[in-house]
Chain A
């Protein structure tokens, strides 16, 4: 019989033992503090949400790999992961001026307009990022997966192919269809994704 108010350790243990719902409770329990920490540093909701997602995906992966040993400081551990991901983001931001480094995806993603350094246009840029994210979310699952892994996770097509167990050509093809579908939707809805 499960406790009414399980500790973080109880929930971690349940998750490791195969109860996926336990991670939902942990996310819900700590989301405000973790999200607030990220937002107070990056001061941008879209970016904060992406970093929040990355943080908990890393938490989930680390738990599954047995890399967490409870010392009663689960929140501290999660905040540290978030902090390191923010540093990672800032380092990347400092190194790259553009959102994408790949010549393959020229139209939608590979634009200096997505450069984080252009703060005067930040509000418009955020709206465009939101719109692009919504377009991504509407893609068929296999295409959305490739776009997310390529653009939001920074994996190469070779890595995407390995991790999705398909050939590189298939991964490239899915990206191609994803871009075609996104452009089609942009045209149909007469969306403007430029400044």
Chain B
């Protein structure tokens, strides 16, 4: 969780190798399953500026005949 705290406090301008390395380290951890992370997200909740559900439904409808091809990235092999 310490890596997550460091990441969330990094300046957005800092998207260089340091940030990517930190994110890679987090990706290889089990922090996403921690109660502490969920509590943190609840405590610092940020609301979106648009209707997120509508965006997903809108996109799904506008591309309903499209079998999207996504780049192969790590989580595809999660299970």
| Residues of A bordering B, CB below 8 Å | 24, 27-28, 31-33, 35-37, 39-45, 48-49, 52-53, 56-58, 60-62, 67-69, 73, 75-77, 79-81, 83-88, 90-91, 93-94, 116, 119, 137, 141, 144-145, 148-149, 153-155, 159, 163-165
**Chain A residues within 8 Å of B78, by CB:** 67, 77, 80
**Chain B residues within 8 Å of A42, by CB:** 12
Complex-state Cα separation, A87 to B73, whole angstroms? 10
Task: Please tell me which one of the listed residues A24, A31, A41, A79 contacts residue B32 in the complex, with CB atoms under 8 A apart.
Answer: A79
Q: Which residue of A has the minimal Cβ distance to B74?
A: A84
B26 adjacent to A83 (CB under 8 Å): yes
Complex-state Cα separation, A83 to B37, whole angstroms? 13
In the complex, how many residues of chain B place their beta carbon closer than 8 angstroms to a beta carbon of chain A?
A: 49
**Chain A residues within 8 Å of B53, by CB:** 24, 27-28, 31
For window 30-45 of B, CB contacts with A under 8 Å fall at 32-33, 37-38, 41-42, 44-45
Cβ of B50 within 8 Å of any chain A Cβ, yes or no, is: yes
**Chain B residues within 8 Å of A88, by CB:** 71, 73
Complex-state Cα separation, A159 to B60, whole angstroms? 18
Given contacts A40-B41, A57-B59, A73-B33, 8 further A-B contacts (CB under 8 A): A32-B47, A41-B7, A49-B55, A53-B56, A83-B32, A94-B15, A145-B63, A149-B63
B68 adjacent to A57 (CB under 8 Å): yes
A61 adjacent to B62 (CB under 8 Å): no
Task: Please tell me which one of the listed residues A24, A39, A60, A148 contacts residue B62 in the complex, with CB atoms under 8 A apart.
Answer: A148
Q: Most chain-B Cβ atoms within 10 A of its Cβ — which of A28, A40, A85?
A: A40
Complex-state Cα separation, A85 to B62, whole angstroms? 22
A44 adjacent to B12 (CB under 8 Å): yes
B23 adjacent to A36 (CB under 8 Å): no
A84 adjacent to B56 (CB under 8 Å): no
Complex-state Cα separation, A32 to B74, whole angstroms? 24
**Chain B residues within 8 Å of A24, by CB:** 53, 57
**Chain B residues within 8 Å of A69, by CB:** 79
